[in-house]
Every structure is written in structure tokens, then in C-alpha cells.
A and B are shown apart, each in its own frame.
Chain A
Amino acid sequence: MVGQILYALPFLAQGFALTLWVSLLVVVLSLIAGVTLGVGLVYGPAPLRWAVRIFSDTIRGIPILVLMFFVYYGLPAIGLHLPSFWAAVLALTLFKTAQVIEYLRGAVASIPKGQSEAAMAIGLTFRQRLTYVIFPQAFRRFLPPWINGVTDAVKGSALVSLLGITDLMQAINQVIGRTYEAMPLYILGALIYFAVNYALSLASRRLERRFSFIRE
């Protein structure tokens, strides 16, 4: 049994690498898109605010799995054929983007209006106010839910196996298919996911402590 698992390790490592790659893409892309749209939701003109609000509410109301199948099996109906890998990344990114929008909105809304006004009064432009006054303060509120979201993204990436992509989950299933050693392999898989997410939450706690000087 141990021999069979050791034999499968390089294959599992490939799956794990793909899991990390999908998670990283989703986390980075959703961070960029979510912060941009979140700023639009808080500060944008009314039509943009409505558009972002509708996007966020719609996406958050749909299960990720449905979203993923929709992107992969549904979009070809309108002529958009995405490879399964990119369909999965797009679906997970859309979902995560909607969450990031809400984290950002909440974090920015928690900063008193007087902070913006004081920044305006010394002549900072909109971009400077965000960069030097609002975001540094909002960051501390943004961080904890966002890190939670990152661990969700790592765990949620296991769904891509349902589009036939060989991530860690799919690799484990395939090895079980060959060896019939379900229990040890699922335990191994769980330990790997846990290790990644535990490392992330440790890093998050350290970051939060670094920014704890910002008192209310």
C-alpha cells in the first residue's frame, strides 16, 4: 500500500501544483477585479454602482458549481468556447470577485467620513486619498475576511476536478481508481489542503498583528 502511494506521489504532486496554480490565478485576478469594481461600487457614478451591485448580488446568489457548469457548458451556446481550465478559472474568479467587492465595500465604509474630508482639505486628489489615507486604514478590516476567502478559494478549487481537470482532488481520485486505497489517499489529500490553509491563516494572523497599531 505504502509502495503504491509512493509510486503515485509525482502524479499527486502535479495535481497539487495545478491546485496551487488555479488558486493563485483566482486569488490574484479576483483581487484586482474585486478592488476595482469595489471602488466603483463605493465611489462611482450611479449607473456603475447599479451595475456592480447587480453583478455582485447575482453572482453571490448562484452556487459556484452552477456557475462553473454555466461557463463551461452554457457559454458555447453563444459561441464562446473556453478550454476547461480557463472556464474553471473564470467561474471561480467571478465568484471570488463578488466576495472581494463586498469585503472592500465593508472595509471602506468603516472609515469615518472625516478621514476623506481631512485628506481633501490638505489638497490630496481622489487617487492620493485612497492610496495614502483610506486604503491603509481599510486594509486591516479587509484582511481577515479576505484571507478566509483565499482559503475558501484553495478548497473551492477542488471543484475544477468536475470539469475533468487533473488538480489534486482529481489526481487523488484517479490514484484511488487504480489502487482502491481510498482512506489513506483521502487522508493524505485532506492533510495537504489543511497544510496550505493552515499556513495561510498563520500568515494572516502575523499580518493582522503587524497592522494592529491602527486603533479605532
Chain B
Amino acid sequence: MNLSLMTAYVVVISLYVNLGIALYGVFARPSLVKKLLAITILSDTANAFAVLVGYRWPASGTPKPPVYTNTTFNNQTLHYYVSHAVDPLPQALVLTAIVIGLAVTMFIAFIIIQYYRLHGTVDVRKARR
């Protein structure tokens, strides 16, 4: 088994473990703060998956970041760049997802703080009464 494949297995398995922990936190933990933490883990796991799908291991050489680093431009350097750089689209989408996720997390955090001020608890079991 080559190294890149083994690394991919380890990453995928740990991402699934993360996903399980996040889902457990959202569904089973009674504290709203724990639920918020679990949601952030869930979104980070999804983002890491997106970046992993956009990663590549080219047939020859090593993967390059999606930044054109050559100061000269000709067909040869462009071909090298296109055939070695990783997919920039998932990275751009993940950047968008992180920003929106952050905004939503911030808003939920404010609501949880306000909820605590009004009800004196963040436990959903007590809040039901």
C-alpha cells in the first residue's frame, strides 16, 4: 500500500469518528453549549471532507497548492500548474462555508447567552418544564 492511500484512509476514518462524535453531541447532550460545540465539529468535518475530495495525488510528482508561483509564463509552466495543483473550487466553497458557519455560530452563541439570562439554565431537559 502506498503512503498517499494510507494517509487518505487514516484521514477518512478519523473524519467519520469526528462525525459520530458531533452527531452524538447534537442529539444526546442536554446542554445547549455542548450542542453548539458539536455543531461546529460537524461543520468542520464536512469542510475537511470537501477539501479532501478536492485534493489530488498526481501520477508524477507531488501535489501543489492552487497558487501560480512561476514568474514567467509559457505553455509548459501552465501545463505543469494545471496538472499538479489541487482543486481550488472546494477550498473556495469551504472558505464561504466557514464564514457563514462562523456568523451562524456567533448568532447561536448570542441566543444561548440571552437564553441563560432569561431562564437561568442551558439544559434543555430543565427548560422543557
Partners in one complex: no
Residues of A within 8 A of B (CB): none
